[in-house]
């Protein structure tokens, strides 16, 4: 049994080291190409094309007014702009949208309230349904929790002058990053994705992905790539890879920011991250063989492999959390030769790769970046805390083809929110594992294995914070529902 644990622990360390190499590649490319200067903006278009804006929504009563106000305020000729509200809602959102659409139609907007009658295919199904009826040559897509600026279309459309450009992705900003420690940490993680991963991959002509919102597509490119498929929970990533395998290019505009709402509760955050983890591994299963068999350069294939399988990290992090305590016990009791721990120490450099990448993303984006540096700890800790639920998600994504799209609840700045049925054992498992790791932390301190203290401290904080926050959210939601029922009965 001891040998099995030693082998598994070393295997998890090696897996994390493999993916950390990607962080050092990003660091290298950042410093090598950061002196290239700012991109030259393309000249504005003299002749504006027809554009369709698609708004896929499901139960968005708190944010739909804000979204429609933004898209109807676009600095774009009304006779060349079509707006599709792809509404799959089953609550009062539908009546709100119906009233708003009538008002905008009276003001001569070409806006349509599209109801399919079912949620077949979820978001992908709605987008494909709208695509087949879209009049525009270009398709802009916005999720309900984003606030697109008026100049979105005029800024991004000139990018299509370049040959084979099939899509353009704008950078996400944050409306509520100062709300809590959780949202501040999320913001840093997303900044890293856009400012380091998306930017540097785009510069190198490697595959990047449309992020599901705040992007502009050439309609023909979507059709050429096979349209929207509903066989994964990451329909945006799936389409992105299929389009790029066809030879199209997706550009990234890191200088153009569209602010959006971050999940404010642990439950909402977990829903979002689980969907991304499950969807990404589904796309890996579906398209990775085609990528590896393609004529892409080896480095581009490596990047695509890391991109599509990166959530395996969560499985490795969970393994480390479980086996770290036995490993420390073996060391304290002298049950394992020192050569084993010397071997493991060779991989410790991997622990510094991504935190430094997070730092670089903040330094690039903000003048007061130094104020945000402490929250890098939160990015790492919450990633560790998600390892249970995301491991479950990637296992389900790889072995189970059936899936249900679970929306991320949005508040639109309101103190109210949708009540969610969070019937899951995951928060309790997170608390149990957090207490287990905390007990290991005490054992480590007592036995002066100080080098592991930060590692176990982050793990225990991540698990306990997500677990207790989720249970707290459940209690508050239940109380709110009881109050609502009592008011209705009275």
Q: What are the residue numbers of the active site?
A: 88, 236
* SS3 call for 57: strand
Phi then psi dihedrals of residue 105, to 5 deg:
-65, -35
Phi then psi dihedrals of residue 58, to 5 deg:
-150, 110
**DSSP assignment of 409-426, as one string?**
P--TT-S---------SH
The three-point CA angle 472-172-151 to 5° equals 135
Distance from C-alpha of 386 to C-alpha of 241, rounded to nearest angstrom: 26
Q: Which DSSP symbol is given to 193?
A: I
The three-point CA angle 147-81-236 to 5° equals 55
Give which of 344, 274, 343 is closest to 314, Cα–Cα: 274
End-to-end CA distance of the chain: 63
Phi then psi dihedrals of residue 173, to 5 deg:
-105, -170
Determine how β-strand 110-114 pairs with β-strand 81-87.
parallel
Q: Which DSSP symbol is given to 146?
A: B
């Amino acid at each position: 049994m001891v040998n099995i644990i030693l082998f598994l622990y070393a295997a998890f360390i090696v897996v994390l080291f493999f993916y950390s190499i990607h962080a050092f590649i990003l660091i290298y490319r950042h410093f090598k190409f950061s002196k290239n200067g700012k991109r030259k903006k393309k000249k504005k278009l003299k002749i504006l094309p027809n554009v369709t804006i698609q708004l896929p929504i499901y139960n968005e009563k708190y944010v739909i007014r804000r979204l429609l106000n933004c898209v109807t305020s676009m600095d774009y000729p009304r006779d060349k702009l079509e707006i599709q509200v792809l509404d799959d809602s089953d609550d009062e959102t539908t009546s709100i949208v119906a009233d708003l659409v009538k008002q905008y139609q009276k003001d001569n907007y070409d806006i349509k309230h599209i109801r399919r009658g079912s949620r077949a295919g979820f978001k992908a199904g709605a987008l494909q349904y709208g695509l087949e009826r879209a009049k525009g040559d270009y398709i802009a897509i916005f999720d309900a929790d984003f606030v697109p600026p008026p100049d979105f279309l005029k800024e991004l459309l000139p990018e299509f002058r370049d040959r084979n450009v099939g899509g353009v992705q704008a950078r996400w900003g944050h409306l509520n990053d100062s709300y809590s420690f959780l949202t501040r940490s999320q913001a840093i993680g997303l900044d890293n994705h856009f400012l380091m991963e998306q930017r540097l991959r785009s510069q190198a002509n490697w595959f990047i992905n449309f992020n599901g919102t705040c992007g502009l597509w050439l309609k023909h490119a979507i059709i050429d790539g096979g349209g929207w498929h509903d066989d994964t929970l990451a329909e945006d990533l799936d389409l992105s890879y299929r389009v790029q395998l066809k030879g199209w290019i997706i550009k990234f505009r890191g200088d153009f920011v569209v602010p959006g709402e971050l999940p404010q509760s642990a439950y909402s955050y977990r829903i979002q991250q689980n969907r991304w983890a499950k969807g990404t591994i589904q796309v890996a299963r579906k398209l990775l063989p085609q990528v590896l068999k393609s004529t892409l350069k080896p480095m581009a294939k490596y990047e695509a492999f890391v991109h599509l399988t990166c959530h395996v990290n969560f499985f490795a992090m969970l393994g480390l959390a479980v086996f770290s305590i036995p490993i420390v016990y073996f060391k304290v009791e002298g049950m394992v030769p020192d050569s084993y721990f010397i071997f493991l120490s060779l991989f410790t450099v991997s622990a510094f790769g991504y935190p430094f990448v997070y730092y670089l993303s903040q330094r690039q984006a903000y003048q007061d970046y130094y104020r945000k540096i402490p929250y890098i700890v939160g990015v790492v800790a919450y990633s560790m805390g998600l390892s249970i639920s995301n491991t479950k998600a990637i296992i389900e994504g790889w072995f189970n083809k059936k899936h249900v799209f679970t929306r991320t609840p949005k508040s639109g700045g309101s103190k109210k929110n949708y009540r969610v049925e969070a019937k899951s054992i995951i928060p309790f498992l997170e608390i149990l594992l957090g207490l287990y790791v905390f007990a290991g932390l005490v054992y480590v301190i007592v036995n002066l294995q100080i080098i592991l203290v930060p590692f176990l401290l982050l793990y225990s904080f991540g698990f306990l914070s997500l677990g207790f926050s989720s249970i707290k959210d459940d209690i508050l939601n239940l109380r709110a529902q009881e109050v609502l029922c009592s008011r209705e009965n009275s």
